Structure 1
């Protein structure tokens, strides 16, 4: 990893398993990554790849039982969150880490006004008086683009459109100037125009509050717009890590190549988009070798036996694939053919 001094979040060998009667689901299985201060890191993969469990592990919101973080460390500004008590962790969740979910209706409380929900957060974490907290709530709503902020504070979540609710949730998430914003599929439920506005808003907020963002998504179009670096996740493991530019211009892992092949490109006409055959295997039934092997068109004998390590093909690009092993970490773009 690069210079640790500027790492805000450092996740090392994270393993989060779920224990069911006679099976163990290794939902997150040995994940390492870091996020620098001011950086937007995208964590990409299909559903079932382990990306949401990674974010919930960072927030320490894994339901136990059946889930348990069995190994690893999650350091925020050098402090290991796994060593904190639940009470200390609650402080971290409001102050240091903000979270935006896919569906604001599940995280906004339907029985309280928007203003009340922002003000509560400020009174609890910033120890503001009620009047001051409401004023700050109005300021935040203006900041996230509500034209009638003074009226919106008195409205309830159901009175707002999906895009407006998502803005309100960003206001709540940013209310305590978090160091890290975790956005889990923040635009999936929205139409494309609103989606773009919400992403712009997140980046604007990040710059204003000098936060870092962990963006979790299955949508590579979103990634191209906002991220600095990308982690591609499959079967509970990181299979590729690179800058956004490298992922789009020189994808290495056959899975990444497949994900990119399934996005429509306005510049080239293709008869039909490629799709990757099959689905992500359930976490209690990962194959013995490479987890992508059953779906991979480059599969070799050894892929069925061993699971490759994450190799550096250059200092800023890592890939978990045997295609790159033989030739000192460069298979000459073999996965792209």
Structure 2
């Protein structure tokens, strides 16, 4: 029986490295720890190359090996360690306990099978349903995610659907086995703004209907503000800030988070030019020796170039990896 105070998902000291030619090691995820409570939506935010998607693939044990390898750490779902499960047991966890929505459904949906077939196959495999029962459930799920003509969609192929419709079909597949955890990796990136809003509303609705928790991976802070309860900001394979969504938007602490927020256009004030963060995320095999953000940071101090700071709690519900906040009550960056 699960302890009521036990987090649904607990990730501790996760390290996922990629071993490249010429003995180069890309530390894509480097000592990442966080928890996700039951019923919570946790957003993982950062630029491309920050390690967000590799973190989610590590949780699912879908890292391509070689060249990738989870070298250290722990991933527990309701107290059960996933990293030591057999491949067979892990396949049961995927689909049954964890559902996943990918960024581009066209690469996740099989082009030669109908939508109904792909939902039914999941139900037959994980829920041991008979074919007729599985197809009936597939129609019900398609109706649930907003298809008006679900009876027809069930017999159509992915290429016959629009991007938004394919994403709805992916949500139907992901939720088909009533998972405890839904991982959504950039679920709205390829969609136009109107469809994005519909998909986000649908995800919130499905989360409530199925009583699931959500790990949302995104680079879009607008999406975070819309649906998240808590936020993890990633940079250079590490978490640099952790806070409630309200705290993050009203009191950002890490210079990287401040830079991300300052680069968003605001309806309240008119500016000639938006702020931008100089430079780019360094490649994972060439992280700087000290703080990984230091080469792009206007607040960089000598110690930032020498040693990487720890992720520290500055106050309740707020952690930051920055020497400006080594002592509690450090001044706000910005």
Q: TM-score range by the shorter chain?
A: over 0.9
Name 1:280's counterpart in structure 2. 281
The reply on whether 1:13 has 2:8 as its aligned counterpart is no
SS at match of 2:188: coil
**TM-score in terms of structure 2 length:** 0.98
Query: Judging changes above 3 Å, is the alpha-carbon distance between structure 1 residues 177 and 246 closer, same or farther for their aligned structure 2 residues?
Result: same
The reply on whether 1:166 has 2:167 as its aligned counterpart is yes
d(CA) in 2 for partners of 1:316, 1:116 = 44
SS at match of 1:7: coil
- Summarize deviations over 1:162-191 as a string: whole Å, max 9, x none: 000000000000000000000000000000
Which ranges of 4 or more aligned residues in structure 1 deviate by more than 3 Å? Answer: none
- Summarize deviations over 1:99-149 as a string: whole Å, max 9, x none: 000000000000010000000000000000011100100000000000000
Name 2:81's counterpart in structure 1. 80
SS at match of 1:38: coil
- Summarize deviations over 1:213-243 as a string: whole Å, max 9, x none: 0000000000000000000000000000000
d(CA) in 2 for partners of 1:168, 1:267 = 37
Name 1:331's counterpart in structure 2. 330
Query: Judging changes above 3 Å, is the alpha-carbon distance between structure 1 residues 4 and 30 closer, same or farther for their aligned structure 2 residues?
Result: farther
d(CA) in 2 for partners of 1:70, 1:95 = 26
- What's the offset of the Cα at 1:4? 7.6
- Summarize deviations over 1:293-315 as a string: whole Å, max 9, x none: 00000000000001000111112
d(CA) in 1 for partners of 2:246, 2:57 = 28
Instruction: Flag structure 1 segments of 5+ consecutive residues without an equivalent.
Output: none
- What's the offset of the Cα at 1:270? 1.1
- Cα RMSD of the aligned pairs, angstroms, is 0.9
d(CA) in 2 for partners of 1:104, 1:74 = 26
Say whether the 8 Å CA contact 1:311–1:329 is kept in structure 2.
no
**TM-score in terms of structure 1 length:** 0.97
d(CA) in 2 for partners of 1:184, 1:4 = 28
d(CA) in 2 for partners of 1:81, 1:94 = 14
- What's the offset of the Cα at 1:5? 2.4
SS at match of 1:82: coil
Name 2:304's counterpart in structure 1. 303
Say whether the 8 Å CA contact 1:110–1:156 is kept in structure 2.
yes
Matched positions, count = 331
